[in-house]
Structure 1
């Protein structure tokens, strides 16, 4: 989390929206073998209080995760910001704009039914986003093969005890400087971040 409060989202539901839209997280925890990280698709509950994900049984984090303090990090677009883009370069340095949402909690392992429900929900969500009609469902699979695959993964649910979002989009600059930075970021091929800056950059006109 960035220490500057200007980079906290002003909209109460923005962090949850970003988690749902991005849908993929890095899961961090300490283990007896040292710190480990896993990468997984995630589902945020409707009330934004729990995060679900699944990992391969062979992942170095999996066997240590249930009951351990963990951190899930969802990262959005990011890009370098050149100080050349500012009108006032006398008090400017290069920096980096980015979007990141940290969620802290203690995961618990799901039972087999919970894992299957999670997989069904993930498929339904992303098949709809992909515009598949009819969508893929596990009903198209050989049940024995499906069971073999699910036996190789474990599902988890993490009640979220703390949210730490950082939406760093030059909110500490005035509107003119933010517009110049957004233009520069777009020129470097980071259109998604430029779009976020223009839509969510925040009104810090006195900065």
Structure 2
């Protein structure tokens, strides 16, 4: 979390919007071999619970049950050039949106994992447009093979820390110029967030 309070948000609906928009994140935890991270689809299931799954063979899997972990969900980000400032006597920076979620992790039962997989497929297929792929198109052999190879988890979130570093410390004129520069650099989502649509 960025230390500047300008880049924080007290919007209680923001974390769920960020998680829904990204649908993917990183799970960090300490293991006897040192800190480890895993990348995984993530879904919010209620106000204070996040579900995800990992490969059974992942270095984190056997250490997560009962552990305190950190989940990071990244939103749009982009390099901010000093050429976009009125006064170019400065340095580059990076604008970004990110969410840290901290809490205890438990394993979920097979029926909850099955429900998570179907909900995640439905959500992400709907974003693509056209005729969605459906889980029923997998043979029982393929689906069961997948199922045997993963473990489902749930984090009960004790703390959520969103960071929206969107040049709030700049003048309205400079923010507009930075947003325009980001849009021209192919970062339309980030530019849009700077102009008021944070998710």
SS at match of 2:143: helix
Contact 1:9 1:15 in 2 (8 A): no
Q: Give the structure 2 partner of residue 82 of structure 1.
A: 81
Higher RCO structure, 1 or 2 (CA under 8 Å, sep 6+): 2
Q: Provide TM-score, normalisation by structure 2.
A: 0.93
Q: Give the structure 2 partner of residue 48 of structure 1.
A: 47
Contact 1:43 1:53 in 2 (8 A): yes
SS at match of 1:118: helix
User: Which whole-Å deviations, capped at 9, do the CAs of 1:102-142 have from their partners, x for residues lacking one?
Assistant: 00011101111111111111112122222344x43332322
SS at match of 1:106: strand
SS at match of 1:123: helix
Please list every run of 5 or more consecutive structure 1 residues that lacks an aligned counterpart in the other structure: 202-207
Q: Provide TM-score, normalisation by structure 1.
A: 0.89
Number of equivalenced pairs: 198
Say what the alpha-carbon RMSD is for the aligned residues: 1.6
Q: Give the structure 2 partner of residue 73 of structure 1.
A: 72
Q: 2:161 aligns with which of 164, 172, 175?
A: 164
Q: 1:141-180 counterparts in 2 under 5 A? A: 141-180=138-177
What is the deviation of 1:10?
A: 4.9
Contact 1:29 1:35 in 2 (8 A): yes
CA distance in 2, matches of 1:23, 1:114: 18
Q: 2:91 aligns with which of 71, 90, 93?
A: 93
> Within the alignment, does 1:113 sit opposite 2:146 as a pair?
no
CA distance in 1, matches of 2:3, 2:101: 16
Q: Give the structure 2 partner of residue 205 of structure 1.
A: none
Contact 1:185 1:191 in 2 (8 A): yes
Please list every run of 5 or more consecutive structure 2 residues that lacks an aligned counterpart in the other structure: none
